[in-house]
Structure 1
């Protein structure tokens, strides 16, 4: 109960600091995003916070698939030992391998899930150590004296930086193989009607599917350990104490769950969790006049 109250107080404090439009001085927000679609979903939120008068600083590598300067923000970059073209080739090869794996049986799906954890683990730390051990960058971030951090659950660099700077952390988390938001917060996740990720089950499971679903739920802590295996070592070395990404994530002030409302099953949420699905959709264009006439005709 005390932990929940602390999370709620932290949540309202962040809202006041970052979203209050009429304040004389906005908050200072550090943003450490992950590449690809992760950034696509976070970017509208980041730009809106900057537009509302907050000082938003985004930290990205010099070479990335999709990240770059954004409106109403300050962008800091750090050098990396690879190019955008090299990243595209590596991602393309691994994606081809990932898509060609067999998922025709329950056993094959489990093998596919376990192999994908190891494959994606390498991406989580691709730029992590390079950023953290950039002394000039970390000194610059300390000088800013940020009020809060916004990062992606796929990016251990953001989580570790939040712990290093000792500032409240907001995690935008998607539908990843490691259910970090469930494991780290011990959020209720009833296996009787909530299918585990990548099982492709519905909420109406037969006895065999429920059994597999139960076994998959027991594997989730091990899955997070496998997914963040390299990141756990980086976090412990950098923070100079024995820790893990799951432990760091358990201290999150706020979770923004980037779930698609249309595709998810109802699930319990902790007090510091908010669903924000649809961030990648953007604003829709008005319907053409001919479509409006068609709808009126058949109403």
Structure 2
């Protein structure tokens, strides 16, 4: 049975023997896109028709012969994006003590997220873009879900969607697929603890997990509200995340803390690394 499954997968990966699908890619700009770009190009090589949806103002995203680019107008300028990122980066490098570092990072993150949410709102305000997407008969959506806009668009188009990502704040990439993450031995982000914690460190870990609920609600409140408006029904952050068909996680399982994972979670660590030429003999 295992050999049969492997043979089927191998056949599907051969462009000459399988029909390509039509894929809508909704990326995030910057370094996130640089990781996803290689995957998009490889999908195109294997016979899939790929359409990249990108704002008119973005970082690093350009046209290519490997895929079709569909742009939509946005109100955010490149200068505003650059300034927001500089502030975000400066807060990470400032070296403030805990919990001041968390508050500074949260405030700059919230401002940056609101700027990107404005681009998402511009997308759903573009009637021409939405008409194009509705008429294009896509088979699925591939998206970096950190800003949730791709998941919202996939729900709007009633399409299955695949996440390609490094991780979420607040442990959402494990909470949404309902993976157990016991606070007794899996440290939370910003705790800087190991998986062998003292009693007080475990208490600290539990407090951080509680505060993360407030943290993430603040970060994603605007996009959840926008999603509810677009989909014309009340949705939660978890509604948008746990409906993903596949989670492609851009890290290696062996470098993470041990925990069960769901069958639709696939670890693809190293997929974004530069492919070097083999050493000469």
TM (normalized to structure 1)? 0.82
Tell me, which stretches of 5 or more residues in structure 2 are unaligned?
Answer: 1-8
Return the offset for 1:272: 0.8
Q: Which position in structure 1 is the counterpart of 2:258? A: 266
RMSD: 2.6
Contact 2:249 2:268 in 1 (8 A): yes
Q: Which position in structure 2 is the counterpart of 1:12? A: none
Is residue 2:141 matched to residue 1:149? yes
1:234-245 alignment runs, 5 A limit? 234-245=226-237
Distance 1:117 1:266, change over 3 A: farther
TM (normalized to structure 2)? 0.86
Distance 1:18 1:223, change over 3 A: farther
Q: Which position in structure 2 is the counterpart of 1:216? A: 208
Tell me, which stretches of 5 or more residues in structure 1 are unaligned?
Answer: 1-14, 290-299
Contact 1:61 1:80 in 2 (8 A): yes
Return the offset for 1:213: 1.2
**d(CA) in 1 for partners of 2:261, 2:204:** 24
Q: Which position in structure 1 is the counterpart of 2:39? A: 45
Contact 1:30 1:146 in 2 (8 A): yes
Write the deviation string for residues 258-289 of structure 1: whole angstroms up to 9, x where unpaired.
22557532332111111112233221344588
Write the deviation string for residues 185-219 of structure 1: whole angstroms up to 9, x where unpaired.
22111222211123222222222222111222234
**d(CA) in 1 for partners of 2:190, 2:255:** 13
Distance 1:112 1:83, change over 3 A: closer
**d(CA) in 2 for partners of 1:259, 1:65:** 23
Return the offset for 1:71: 4.5
Contact 1:173 1:258 in 2 (8 A): yes
Q: How many residues align?
A: 274
Q: Which position in structure 1 is the counterpart of 2:5? A: none
Write the deviation string for residues 228-258 of structure 1: whole angstroms up to 9, x where unpaired.
1110111011111111232111111011112
Return the offset for 1:94: 3.2
Return the offset for 1:65: 1.4
Among 68, 83, 88, the alignment partner of 2:77 is: 83
Q: Which position in structure 1 is the counterpart of 2:167? A: 175
Return the offset for 1:90: 2.8
Contact 1:178 1:227 in 2 (8 A): no
Distance 1:16 1:225, change over 3 A: farther
**d(CA) in 2 for partners of 1:109, 1:222:** 16
Which structure's relative contact order is higher, taking Cα pairs within 8 Å and 6+ residues apart? Answer: 1
